[in-house]
Amino acid sequence: MTKKKNNIFNRAVLAAMVAVTAHFAHAQNPAPAAPQTKPIVLTGATIHTGNGQVIENGVIAFDKGIITQVGPAGSGNTSGAEVIDVKGKHIFPGIISLNTTVGIQEIASVRATLDFNEIGEINPHIRSLVAYNTDSEVIPTLRGNGILLSQAVPQGGIVSGSSSVFYTDGWNWEDAVLKKDDGIWINWPSFLARSFNFEDFSVTMKRNEKRQEVIDKFSGVFADAKAYADLKDPSPINLRLAAMKPLFNGSANLYIRADYAKDIVESVKFAKAAGVQKIVIVGGDESYKVAAFLKENQIPVVLNPTHRLPGRVDENVYLPYELPGLLHKAGVKVAVTYADEWWRTRNLAFLAGTSSGFGNISSEEALQFITRNAAEIIGADKQIGTLEKGKHASFLVSQGDILDMRGNDVEMVFIKGGKVNLDDKQKRLYEKYKDKYGKK
Amino acid sequence: MIRRLSTVMAFLTVSVLSYGQETFPRNGAYDERSGRYAFTNANIVVDSKTTIQNGTLLIENGLIKEVNKQVKIPSGTVVIDLKGKYIYPSLIDLDSDYGMPDVKTERRAGGGRATPQLESNKKGAFGWNQAIQPENEAATLFTPDARKAEDLRKIGFGTVLSHSHDGIVRGSGALLTLTDESANKAIINGKASSHFSFSKGTSTQTYPSSGMGIVALLRQNYYDADWYGKSGKTQEKNLSLDAFNSLKGLPSIFETNDKYSVLRADKIGDEFGIQYIIRGGGDEYQRLDEIKATKAPLILPLQFPEAYDVADPWDADLVSITQLKHWELAPKNASEVAKASIPFAFTIAGIKNKGDFWKNLRTAIEYGLPKEKALEALTSVPASLIKAEGQVGSLKAGLLANFLITSTDLFSKDNIIYENWVQGKKFIVAPLNATDIRGTYALSINNQPTGKIQISGTVEKPEYKVILQDTVKITLKAVLTNELLTITYQPDKKRQENVRLTGWFTGKGLTGEGVLPNGNVVPWSASLSEKYTATAPKDSAAKKLAETGKIVYPFTGFGNEELPKAETVLIKNATVWTNEKEGILQGTDVLVQNGKIAKIGKSLSAPSGAKTVDGTGKHLTTGIIDEHSHIALFTINEGGQTSSAEVRMSDVINPDDVNIYRQLAGGVTTSHLLHGSANSIGGQSALIKLKWGANQSEMLIPQAKTIKFALGENVKQSNWGDVARVRFPQTRMGVEQVFYDHFIRAKEYAQNWKTFNAKKTGTAPRRDLELDALAEILASERFITCHSYVQSEINMLMSVADSLKFKINTFTHILEGYKLADKMQERGIGGSTFADWWAYKMEVKEAIPYNAALMYHEGVTVAINSDDAEMARRLNQEAAKTVTYGGVPEEDAWKMVTLNPAKLLRVDDKLGSVKAGKDADLVLWNANPLSVYARPEFTMIEGTVYFDRKKDEDKQKTMAVERERLIQKMLSDKAEGKPTQRPQGAQPRMWHCEDIVGVHAEHAEEK
Q: Which residue has the higher pLDDT, B272 or B985?
A: B272
The confidence band for B3, taking pLDDT boundaries of 50, 70 and 90, is very low
Residue B685: per-residue pLDDT:
97
Indicate whether B729 and B695 sit together in one domain: no
Indicate whether A322 and A241 sit together in one domain: yes
Residue B730: per-residue pLDDT:
94
Task: Please write the tens of the pLDDT for every residue from A293-325.
Answer: 999 999 999 999 999 999 999 999 999 999 999
Contacts of B881 in chain A (CB under 8 A): 405
Residue A211 forms contact with B (CB below 8 Å)? no
Q: Which residue has the higher pLDDT, B618 or A205?
A: B618
Please say whether the beta carbons of B670 and B688 come within 8 A. yes
CA-to-CA separations, B214 to B122, B172, B266, in angstroms, rounded = 18, 19, 14
* Largest interatomic CA distance in chain A: 75
Residue A432 forms contact with B (CB below 8 Å)? no
Taking residues A265-276, report their average pLDDT: 98
Indicate whether A32 and A109 sit together in one domain: no
**Residue B723 φ then ψ, to 5°:** -70, -20
Inside any domain, residue B968: no
Q: How close A396 gets to chain B, by Cα (Å)?
A: 16
The confidence band for B1005, taking pLDDT boundaries of 50, 70 and 90, is very low
Indicate whether B262 and B356 sit together in one domain: yes
**Percentage with pLDDT > 70 across chain B:** 94
Inside any domain, residue B911: no
Residue A71: per-residue pLDDT:
96
Indicate whether A103 and A23 sit together in one domain: no
Count of domains observed in chain A = 2
Indicate whether B57 and B146 sit together in one domain: no
Residue B24: per-residue pLDDT:
86
Domain boundary among A355, A382, A409: A382
Q: What CATH number is associated with residue A151?
A: 3.20.20.140
Inside any domain, residue B476: yes
Residue A205 forms contact with B (CB below 8 Å)? yes
Indicate whether B799 and B749 sit together in one domain: yes
Identity of the residue in B840, B848, B984 whose CB atom sits nearest the CB atom of A343: B840
pLDDT score of B469 more than 80: no
**How many CB pairs below 8 Å do chains A and B form together?**
201
Indicate whether A178 and A281 sit together in one domain: yes
The total of other beta-carbon atoms located within 10 Å of residue B818's CB is 32
Residue B885 forms contact with A (CB below 8 Å)? yes
B277 DSSP β-pair partners: B253
Q: CA B725 from chain center: how many Å?
A: 35
Q: How close B806 gets to chain A, by Cα (Å)?
A: 27
Give dist(CA B812, CA B865) in Å, integer: 8
Q: Which residue of A has its CA nearest to B257?
A: A200
Q: How close B716 gets to chain A, by Cα (Å)?
A: 14
Give dist(CA B451, CA B473) in Å, integer: 10
Indicate whether A46 and A81 sit together in one domain: yes
Contacts of B934 in chain A (CB under 8 A): 357
Identity of the residue in A357, A405, A434 whose CB atom sits nearest the CB atom of B930: A405
Residue B949 forms contact with A (CB below 8 Å)? no
Residue A194: per-residue pLDDT:
80
Q: What CATH number is associated with residue B788?
A: 3.20.20.140
Q: Which residue of B has its CA nearest to A362?
A: B933
Q: Which chain B residues in 286-305 lie under 8 Å from chain A, judged by CB atoms?
A: none
pLDDT score of B1006 more than 50: no
Q: Which chain B residues in 953-992 lie under 8 Å from chain A, judged by CB atoms?
A: 956, 959, 963, 982-990
Residue B631 forms contact with A (CB below 8 Å)? no
Q: How close B998 gets to chain A, by Cα (Å)?
A: 6
Query: Residue B819 and residue A289: Cβ atoms within 8 Å?
Result: no
User: Closest by alpha carbon to A48, among A361, A357, A359, A365?
Assistant: A365
Inside any domain, residue B996: no
- The count of C-alpha atoms lying within 13 angstroms of the C-alpha of B726, restricted to the half-sphere facing its C-beta, is 13
Indicate whether B749 and B802 sit together in one domain: yes
Identity of the residue in A289, A314, A346 whose CB atom sits nearest the CB atom of B557: A314
Residue B19: per-residue pLDDT:
53
Q: What CATH number is associated with residue A78?
A: 2.30.40.10
Please say whether the beta carbons of B55 and B45 come within 8 A. no
> Domain residues for A415?
5-93+399-436
Query: Residue A358 and residue B314: Cβ atoms within 8 Å?
Result: no
Give dist(CA B75, CA B73) in Å, integer: 6
Indicate whether B694 and B731 sit together in one domain: no
Mean pLDDT over the full length of chain A: 92
Taking residues B601-622, report their average pLDDT: 97
Residue B580: per-residue pLDDT:
98
Identity of the residue in A341, A356, A405 whose CB atom sits nearest the CB atom of B1004: A341
Cis peptide upstream of residue A236 (ω within 30 degrees of 0): yes
Inside any domain, residue B522: yes
Indicate whether B762 and B882 sit together in one domain: yes
DSSP-derived secondary structure for B193-205:
EEEEES--TT---
Indicate whether A220 and A82 sit together in one domain: no
Inside any domain, residue A388: no
Residue A23: per-residue pLDDT:
41
Inside any domain, residue A394: no
Residue A364 forms contact with B (CB below 8 Å)? no
Query: Residue B822 and residue A5: Cβ atoms within 8 Å?
Result: no
Identity of the residue in A110, A314, A357 whose CB atom sits nearest the CB atom of B935: A357
Inside any domain, residue A247: yes
User: Closest by alpha carbon to B263, among B703, B869, B698, B706?
Assistant: B698
Inside any domain, residue B905: no
Residue A24: per-residue pLDDT:
43
Q: Which chain A residues in 230-269 lie under 8 Å from chain B, judged by CB atoms?
A: 260-262
Residue A22: per-residue pLDDT:
40
Indicate whether A125 and A47 sit together in one domain: no
Residue B822 forms contact with A (CB below 8 Å)? yes
Q: How close B888 gets to chain A, by Cα (Å)?
A: 9
Indicate whether A68 and A150 sit together in one domain: no
Inside any domain, residue B1002: no
Residue A244: per-residue pLDDT:
98
Q: What CATH number is associated with residue B81?
A: 2.30.40.10
Residue B984: per-residue pLDDT:
80
**Least confident interval from A92-96, B286-290, B976-980:** B976-980
Q: Report the residue of B652, B844, B884 to disrupt the A interface, i.e. the one with the largest count of A CBs within 10 Å.
A: B884
Residue B38 forms contact with A (CB below 8 Å)? no
pLDDT score of B96 more than 90: yes
Indicate whether A175 and A156 sit together in one domain: yes
Most confident listed range (A182-196, B95-109, B182-196): B182-196
> Domain residues for B597?
553-622+919-930+941-947
Query: Residue A343 and residue B322: Cβ atoms within 8 Å?
Result: no
Query: Residue B959 and residue A314: Cβ atoms within 8 Å?
Result: yes
pTM, rounded to two decimals: 0.92
Q: How close A251 gets to chain B, by Cα (Å)?
A: 33
Give dist(CA B924, CA B940) in Å, integer: 9
Inside any domain, residue A165: yes
Indicate whether B868 and B805 sit together in one domain: yes
Residue B318 forms contact with A (CB below 8 Å)? yes
B947 DSSP β-pair partners: B939
Please say whether the beta carbons of A375 and A97 come within 8 A. no
Taking residues B121-142, report their average pLDDT: 97
| Three-state SS at B746 | helix
Inside any domain, residue B980: no
Indicate whether A166 and A105 sit together in one domain: yes
Residue B789 forms contact with A (CB below 8 Å)? no
Indicate whether A288 and A224 sit together in one domain: yes
Give dist(CA B277, CA B92) in Å, integer: 15
Inside any domain, residue A392: no
The confidence band for B113, taking pLDDT boundaries of 50, 70 and 90, is low
Q: How close B662 gets to chain A, by Cα (Å)?
A: 6
Taking residues A194-219, report their average pLDDT: 82
Q: Which residue has the higher pLDDT, A193 or A384?
A: A384
Residue B932 forms contact with A (CB below 8 Å)? yes
Task: Please write the tens of the pLDDT for every residue from A351-389.
Answer: 999 999 999 999 999 999 999 999 999 999 999 999 999
Indicate whether B401 and B489 sit together in one domain: no
* Residue B972, Cβ density class (10 Å: 0-12 exposed, 13-18 middle, ≥19 buried): exposed
Count of domains observed in chain B = 7
Indicate whether B272 and B352 sit together in one domain: yes
Indicate whether A175 and A318 sit together in one domain: yes
Inside any domain, residue A305: yes
Give dist(CA B558, CA B618) in Å, integer: 26
Indicate whether B574 and B516 sit together in one domain: no
Give dist(CA B453, CA B485) in Å, integer: 13
Indicate whether B38 and B147 sit together in one domain: no
Task: Please write the tens of the pLDDT for every residue from B348-394.
Answer: 999 989 989 999 999 999 999 999 999 999 999 999 999 999 999 99
Taking residues B560-576, report their average pLDDT: 97
